[in-house]
Structure 1
Amino acid sequence: MAIFSIIFPLIFMVSLGYLLTRLTFFNKEQISGISKFTFYVSIPAFLFINMLAAPLSQSFDVKSLLVFYLPVLAVYTLGYRFNRQFAQTHLKSRDASAVFALGSSYSNTVLVGLPIIMAAIGEAMIGQVFMIITFHSALLFAITFILAARAGEQGFSWGTFTRNMVLNPVVLSISLGMIANAVGLSLFAALEGGLILLAKPALACALFVLGANLSFYKISQDWPLALCASFLKIILLPACVFITGKWLLVLPAQTLTMLVLLSASPLGVNAYLIATELKQHESTLGTTVVLSTILSVLSFSIWLALLT
């Protein structure tokens, strides 16, 4: 019953977004507007307010970062080698393999991971969650772009990449919240009240938008590769995080729960956008977004039963 009470509200919001869009109650342009509000206004307000209040001394933990990122890098490498070995000839290039590796290891931390963690263990670990999120995109996107640049004629610009990452609304809002926290900034009551009001719909809107966007993706003929990427992402990766945190680096139970749930999140939509930018595995990653999101319900249920 406890697991059902955690999972059901999240499934409800995702399903509502999917159904209302499929029934054309909302069209693509309207969902785009809701998405823009969610990712550029509400979620940044939510992240800033919570990072401002987070206990910084407990948020940066090297062992937690290692327990999360060592398995992520291992699964990324495995995904890269898998694609080089088993994909069709026209998809075996280094840049295509880098994109497949990204699709096997990049988690939807904000739209899915954060709501699941908040529902399962509350706000106790939110500072550490934000630390993971801050480095997550930067690390995996940098590796993917570097490998793709090596494979082709295009160059990789650290300046452009750094600027895009720093100005990312998620990274920027967490960073500003961290700085404000570190210097002891105290917001005046009216501004704090406004930001809290903006932050309230963040998680619900994020789940609704996720469901709406799923209605725009189709299951392609590349579903076998997408199924393999989904297995690596929502089965192998959290298992590796669990093993690393349980027996190798030995983390507290609540911290381990947070990291496993974060790693068990389905593939993030941003990985699909990278695939379209590099023109490699677009249909594979689009299908992986759908499959991993659907299958993550089972994965989350299993991990919640084991860890909570």
Structure 2
Amino acid sequence: MPIVSIIFPIMFIVALGYGLTRTGFFNKEHIAGISKFTFYVSIPAFLFINMLVAPLAQSIDPFSLLAFYIPVLFVFAIGYLINRYCGVKSQQRSDASAVFALGCSYSNTVIVGLPVITAALGKAMIGSIFMIITFHSAFLFALTFALASRAQQDGFSWRNFTRSMLLNPVVLSITLGIVANGLSLNLGEQLNDGLVLLAKPALACALFVLGANLSFYRIGDNWRLALIASSLKILLLPALVYVMAAMVFQLSGQNTAMLVLLSASPLGVNAYLIATEIKQHQATLGSTVVLSTLLSVLSFSLWLTWLM
């Protein structure tokens, strides 16, 4: 399949969301409504219905998890050390360093990675993708909050974090899908068809919302830090994942491509929300979301050319 056939439809929807919001056709309230439907209704339906029919026995591969998460942890550590010892003096605390590290290693797996991989590799890889996605936010957010709590008086509540992760619509829908799959649950034709119908606009809506949200962010004065974070995120991380997957664990070509494309995804918007909550590097991560998304077009094109 030509690379442009994979990349163009995705970037077209992102650009449409950006353009219609930038010109004022949609405002923040409109996008908030579309986002709520997308992330609390359509995407959970998509994740659940696909997890329900996924071949779980073929999807659970500890070597794939290691090939993805060892480089993620390594890049997180690099980002932390860069900010801690080379960053601005006022932002060398552990909380700021943890947030910057998150900005270097957290991937937009659902909104960007999933559409790219399904377009390039087909839906056969969905079960394996979901195995990675399930632990992705929980792992990196817990690590970020745990490190940040060392510099903040109120500390870190594992109880609140665990509750928020378990109730996260992505994690919850995948978990319920795994349980239903394991129990061989039959939803019935009518309910199944209803969920399938709800799931159809999920990826298109997610890409549209991504483009719309980009119109609200700017690449500001922190562009140098954003460029460092973006380079680590979409250049170094997928390269390390490729080495681990193809050379160390010698995974299949499809598994390697899936892991590399997931890791080559730009920084997810949720990382910016974490930065806002911790009150560190908000402008840096907002700029990184925009910059890494723009640069990911080049990154995806290069990796798709190499892997396909």
> Shared fold by TM > 0.5?
yes
Which residue of 1 is the match for residue 261 of structure 2?
261
The amino acid across from 2:148 in the alignment is A
Cα displacement (A) at 1:59: 1.2
Which residue of 1 is the match for residue 33 of structure 2?
33
Which residue of 2 is the match for residue 233 of structure 1?
233
Which residue of 1 is the match for residue 210 of structure 2?
210
- State the TM-score, normalized to the length of structure 2: 0.99
Q: Distance in 2 between matches of 1:303 and 1:6?
A: 12
Q: Distance in 2 between matches of 1:271 and 1:202?
A: 21
Task: Describe the SS at the equivalent of 2:124.
Answer: coil
The amino acid across from 2:263 in the alignment is S
The amino acid across from 2:180 in the alignment is A
Q: Distance in 1 between matches of 2:6 and 2:17?
A: 18
Q: Distance in 2 between matches of 1:216 and 1:195?
A: 32
Alignment pair present for 1:45 and 2:45: yes
Cα displacement (A) at 1:155: 1.8
Which residue of 1 is the match for residue 163 of structure 2?
163
Q: Distance in 2 between matches of 1:157 and 1:280?
A: 18
Any stretches of 5+ residues in structure 1 without a counterpart?
none
Which residue of 2 is the match for residue 199 of structure 1?
199
Q: Distance in 2 between matches of 1:240 and 1:85?
A: 23
Cα displacement (A) at 1:85: 1.7
Q: Distance in 1 between matches of 2:237 and 2:62?
A: 19
Q: Distance in 1 between matches of 2:246 and 2:170?
A: 29
Task: Describe the SS at the equivalent of 2:265.
Answer: coil
Alignment pair present for 1:111 and 2:108: no
RMSD: 0.6
Cα deviations by residue, 1:61-112 (Å, 9 ceiling, x for unpaired) = 0000000000000000000001112211111111000000000000000000
Any stretches of 5+ residues in structure 2 without a counterpart?
none
- How is 1:104-143 mapped onto 2 (pairs within 5 angstroms)? 104-143=104-143
Alignment pair present for 1:187 and 2:184: no
Alignment pair present for 1:84 and 2:84: yes
The amino acid across from 2:12 in the alignment is F
Percent identity among equivalent residues?
68
Which residue of 2 is the match for residue 295 of structure 1?
295
Q: Distance in 2 between matches of 1:124 and 1:79?
A: 34
Cα displacement (A) at 1:124: 1.0
Which residue of 2 is the match for residue 278 of structure 1?
278
Cα displacement (A) at 1:158: 1.0
Cα displacement (A) at 1:219: 1.0
- State the TM-score, normalized to the length of structure 1: 0.99
The amino acid across from 1:216 in the alignment is F
Q: Tell me the number of residue pairs that the alignment of Structure 1 and Structure 2 aligns.
A: 308
Q: Distance in 2 between matches of 1:2 and 1:186?
A: 38
